[in-house]
Amino acid sequence: MIVAVLGANGQLGSDILRVISADPRRDQALPLSRKDLDISNLEAIPTVLSKFRFDVLVNCTGYHKTDEVETHATEAIRINAHAISAIAKSCKSQRARFVQISTDYVFDGNTRQPYSETDQPRPINVYGASKLLGENLALRSYPDETLVVRVASLFGVAGSSGKGGNFIETILRHGKETGQVRVVNDITMSPTCTADAARAILDLLRQDAPPGIYHLANSGSATWFEFAKQIIEDAGVPATVVPVTSEEYPSVAIRPSYSVLNNDKISRIVGELPHWKDALHQYLTEKGLQLTAQSALGAD
């Protein structure tokens, strides 16, 4: 299986490449960066993709800066929606499967039960709306071979270059520099390691999972404060984590107060996904950071 990866330099894209490279006899990777294809140039998409041979295309790229997107709606719709339709149509012309990476931000957060794939999306910010439109256009353009994979709160060894590093890197840096980090405690989500997400996506493809929508997140849930507290404790950083409200740290875009994803559907195909605490331990170990004795015991 030849797997083309758009956004190959990002957190998720780079981990998909790493998983493939670990067993090169099984699959072959075709990394595509923005230098190879800038999806904001809609007219170039079919021409560029027609030059490559692949069995699957996984799109990990997009306009992800949630606050910036709020005031650049036209560009967000272009990149996160119309470009996705063009990619789906290109995959259809090559009879290749298409995996579109989407987001938990398609939901409004007005619940306290993990969202399943059958729950009605109701985005409350421009980013979520643009990603939802991209989902719909992809499934409409190529329903037979499109998998929409919604992920949440990603962290990976590669970091997030577009956002200046991931949440873990930011918390550790501030903790070391100031001895204190203030983190919102009224937004609950699904921390998700890109290494686990990459393995699950490839397992979906290898097991010929049917088209449709899948929720992919590490098991468990946490507020951003709870996640930050675990990061600081596991890494052994002498810093205090202080819970605050979202009102104390207002942002341009409204975030859903609850966006936990139910991963039962995908787990039935690829196996149970690790708890986010175990995924965090693995991440910190791979980054060469200190783990406390208690954290090494794993999730509760």
Reported in sequence order, the residue ranges of the chain that DSSP labels E, i.e. its strands, are: 2-6, 28-32, 56-59, 97-103, 146-151, 154-155, 180-184, 188-189, 192-193, 212-215, 222-223, 240-244
| Spatial separation of the C-alpha atoms in residues 143 and 157, rounded to whole Å | 33
Which letter does DSSP use for residue 40 in this model? T
Contact call for residues 20 and 206 (beta carbons, < 8 A): no
127 in active site: yes
pLDDT for residue 203? 97
Contact call for residues 256 and 107 (beta carbons, < 8 A): yes
| pTM for the full predicted model | 0.93
Q: Give the tokens for residue 122.
A: 């109701």
Domains, the chain, ordered by start = 2-160+192-220+259-274 (3.40.50.720)
Q: Which amino acid is at 188?
A: T
Contact call for residues 11 and 159 (beta carbons, < 8 A): yes
Among candidates 139, 144, 140, 187, which has minimal Cα distance to 167? 187
pLDDT for residue 43? 96
Catalytic residue among 105, 127, 142, 283: 127
Which stretches of the chain score pLDDT less than 70? Answer: 159-164, 289-300
Residue recorded with tokens 């999972």: 209
Reported in sequence order, the residue ranges of 33-137 that DSSP labels E, i.e. its strands, are: 56-59, 97-103
Question: 29 CB contacts (<8 Å, ≥6 apart)?
Answer: 2, 3, 5, 16, 17, 20, 21
